[in-house]
Amino acid sequence: MARVGAIDCGTNSIRLLIADVTESFDGTKDLRDLHRETRIVRLGKGVDATRRLDPEAVERTRVALADYTVALRRKGVERIRMVATSATRDAENREDFFGMVRETLGVDAEVISGDEEARLSFTGAVGDLDPADGPFVVVDVGGGSTELVVGTVEGGVTAAKSVDVGSVRLTERCLPGDPPAASDVEKAREVARGILAEAFAAVPVEGVRTWVGVAGTITSLSAIAQDLPQYDPERVHLSRLSGDQLHDLAQMLVTSSRAEKEKLGSLHPGRIDVIAAGALVVEALADELHSRAGIDRIVVSEHDILDGIARSIA
């Protein structure tokens, strides 16, 4: 058994998983969670326009990492891996960020490729699913990018693509209003569809049987759809949403003001201003998967790239 610490630093949030990993006789790895935590730090704020990480966002990330470091030490973690994704890939001052991570955490952050991000997400997402329900398409809608990956439990990943559309990027590009104007919403839909077309051109989904969605945008949509008074990961994990529900959620969110979204008890305050854009990305994905593969619902998984990172170092 190995006790590991996995950190995923994305455009919108930084997340920690501490877990014990055991390997069975057939080589499969089982995770037992000891601690999961998410902080909304908005590291990618403005990066799409400026190509630089905002100093205040870097400081928020440093504070979160300092707290995570304390938790890792208290739990006696033996191995740590931190990956940094879309925002840091695009930033001109990323070396300043890496130096901060090294000084705070004691290990280097890895800037992984979009394809590696997709592979880790797939590994984490399908761990609790029946292999017979494959092939799977796993979708991770982040703040700055969206990953699309197809594969099976037995054979692993067969195709993957990362494209630069996510809840933060799409909000900053297209949705300035509160609530946004109908013309801006339509523009956002067009942008999302256009960028996602690149992913679907690279990742054939015909023949896929099950759509699995991971990460904060999709898990938040599940919590909202269930009208949870507060976020409950046990209720969210392996829940299902139909295409019609996803369309209704997107329409409700793009026509709601910030004050109205604040009343959704299950929605993290740090996602309030970007959840509408995230819902539009998921809506576009639903339309494409229904058209191309006849899939009419999504399975929502709490297990994602964090679990894949943990498995990779066990």
For 242-284, write each residue's pLDDT tens digit.
999 999 999 999 999 999 999 999 999 989 999 999 999 999 9
Distances (CA, A) of 255 to 87, 131, 180, 218: 28, 39, 7, 19
Containing structural domain, residue 200: 128-305
DSSP state string for the chain: -EEEEEEEE-SSEEEEEEEEEEE-TTS-EEEEEEEEEEEE--TTTTHHHHSS--HHHHHHHHHHHHHHHHHHHHTT-SEEEEEE-HHHHH-TTHHHHHHHHHHHHSSPEEE--HHHHHHHHHHHHTTTS-GGG-SEEEEEE-SS-EEEEEEETTTEEEEEEEES--HHHHHHHH--SSSPPHHHHHHHHHHHHHHHHHHHHHS--TT--EEEEESHHHHHHHHHHTT-SS--HHHHTTEEEEHHHHHHHHHHHHTS-HHHHHT-TTS-GGGTTTHHHHHHHHHHHHHHHHHHH---EEEEES--HHHHHHHHH-
Whether 122 is in a domain gets the answer: no
Whether 314 is in a domain gets the answer: no
Beta bridge partners of 160: 149
- Domains identified in the chain, total number: 2
Q: What integer pLDDT is reported at residue 292 of this predicted model? A: 95
Residues 313 and 4 sit within 8 Å (Cβ to Cβ): yes
CATH code of the domain in which 205 resides: 3.30.420.150
Question: What count of residues does the chain have?
Answer: 314
For residue 73, count CB atoms less than 10 angstroms from its CB and return exposed for 0-12, middle for 13-18, buried for 19 or more: exposed
pLDDT < 50 regions, the chain: none
Same domain, 69 and 133: no
Place of tokens 């990362």: 162
Q: What integer pLDDT is reported at residue 13 of this predicted model? A: 87
CA 299/CA 296 separation, integer angstroms: 10
Same domain, 221 and 135: yes
Q: Pick from 56, 85, 114: which residue ends a domain?
A: 114
Task: Name the region of 238 (left: φ>0; alpha: ψ -120 to 50; beta: rest).
Answer: left
Same domain, 185 and 252: yes
Q: What integer pLDDT is reported at residue 274 of this predicted model? A: 93
Same domain, 158 and 299: yes
Same domain, 52 and 89: yes
pTM for the full predicted model: 0.81
CATH code of the domain in which 105 resides: 3.30.420.40
Whether 119 is in a domain gets the answer: no
Same domain, 55 and 82: yes
Q: What integer pLDDT is reported at residue 27 of this predicted model? A: 61
Beta bridge partners of 58: none
Same domain, 90 and 153: no
